[in-house]
Amino acid sequence: MSGHTVELSHRAMALLRAVAAQRVHMSCSCEPDLFIDGVACCDQMTAHELARNGFIRPTVIGVVGKRVPAELTDAGRAALTERPAA
């Protein structure tokens, strides 16, 4: 993540909480899609932004298109602790 602050929406925070709860898989891609409890996330633009801005990442490297568990990065964990859950 670059040195700028990213304002996270309530939906982005909810996605981070789902990742923290180990309920999320992501597709291996340059613009990964998220799947929560096996269902495609309704806001893939936010999912892409979370990955692009370094809040989430795949737990393992996989083949393009494969779904792997998602995990929080240090930035994702910090975002959850800095802002109270809504």
> Chain-wide mean pLDDT for the chain?
89
In angstroms, the CA 61 to CA 14 distance is 24
In a domain, 45, yes or no: yes
In a domain, 5, yes or no: no
- Structural domain containing residue 58: 10-82
Nearest one of 68, 11, 5, 3 to 34, comparing CA atoms: 68
CATH number of the domain that residue 55 is part of: 1.10.10
Note the pTM of the prediction, 2 decimals.
0.86
Mean pLDDT of 54-76: 95
Mean pLDDT of 61-84: 90
- pLDDT over 50 at 75, yes or no: yes
When divided into structural domains, the chain yields a total of: 1
In angstroms, the CA 83 to CA 13 distance is 9
In a domain, 2, yes or no: no
In a domain, 78, yes or no: yes
In a domain, 4, yes or no: no
Read off the pLDDT of residues 9-45 as tens digits, 9 standing for 90 and up: 999 999 999 999 999 999 998 889 999 999 999 999 9
